Amino acid sequence: MLREYHGFSELFERMWQSVIATLYREAAQWIRAQGADVADPEATAAVLISSLTYYPLLNILIGHTPGDLEADRFLDAWVEHAVRSLEAGSAR
């Protein structure tokens, strides 16, 4: 998808609108529903989701993962970060 974007931009735009953009909206709604007092639920959702999806993309594109970490270490750190970020927002 990333390598062939220019040849299929219309298809990717439909995919973005029907799948990926929905994921970001649903995540922002979930953050709000949890009562997390974050300044910007949409931005928080975007940061959490994009950081999670970056791992496999980088691995596919260049054969390395962020920090050259194994998936379980990356996921453990991601979960810890997400929980602390949402808890910190709730504590305000």
Q: Tens of pLDDT along 37-89?
A: 889 999 999 999 999 989 998 999 899 999 999 999 999 999 999 998 888 65
pLDDT, residue 73, reads 97
Stronger pLDDT, 91 or 57, i.e. the higher one? 57
Kindly list the domain boundaries of the chain, sorted by start residue.
5-91
- Whole-Å CA distances, 60 to 9, 18, 56, 71: 20, 24, 6, 13
> DSSP states of the chain as a string?
--TTGGGSHHHHHHHIIIIIHHHHHHHHHHHHHTT---S-HHHHHHHHHHHHHHHHHHHHHHS--GGG--HHHHHHHHHHHHHHHHHHHHH-
Reply yes or no on whether the pLDDT at 7 is more than 80.
Answer: no
